Amino acid sequence: MWSHQGVTHYVNLIPTNNPENPYEVEFRHNANGDVNGRIGDGLVAFKLDNLPDTEGETVKLKLKWKAFNSDKSVEFDYRTRAATPATSAVAAERSVIPLQ
C-alpha cells in the first residue's frame, strides 16, 4: 500500500526462533494505521548475516508473512555467501539509507 504523505511505515524481517528450522524468518509490516490509499507491490531487501552459516550447503529458507486474509509462507534455496579475502571497493563505497 502506498502511504499517505507523512505516515511512516515500518518493515522488519525477524527470526521466528523455530528450534527445528533456524532458517525461518517472518516479514512484518506496520502501516501505523495508514489503511487507505493505493495498493501496490513493493520491494525490500534485508541483510541475512545473522542467520547461521550454511557451511557451503544449500538449505531451505522459509519466509512467513501475514496477508490480508491468511498466513502465507514460501521457501527459497539459500546458501551463505563464501567469504572474500578483501573488502570490495564497491561495497565499501555504496550509499546506505537508514530506514526506520
Whole-number Cα distances in Å, 18 to 3, 21, 89: 32, 5, 37
What are the mean pLDDT values of the chain's consecutive 10-residue runs (100 residues total)?
73 95 95 80 89 94 92 96 60 56
Give me the architecture of the 1-38+55-82 domain, per CATH: Sandwich (2.60)
- The C-alpha cell at 84 is 572474500
Return the beta strands (E) in 20-70 as ranges.
24-30, 59-66
What pLDDT score was predicted for residue 84?
57
**pLDDT at position 28:** 94
- Distance between CA atoms of 53 and 57, rounded to whole angstroms? 9
CA separation, residue 27 to residues 2, 11, 63, 71, 91 (Å): 17, 7, 7, 11, 25
Q: What is the pLDDT of residue 90?
A: 52
pLDDT number for residue 6:
78
- pLDDT score recorded for residue 32: 86
pTM: 0.72
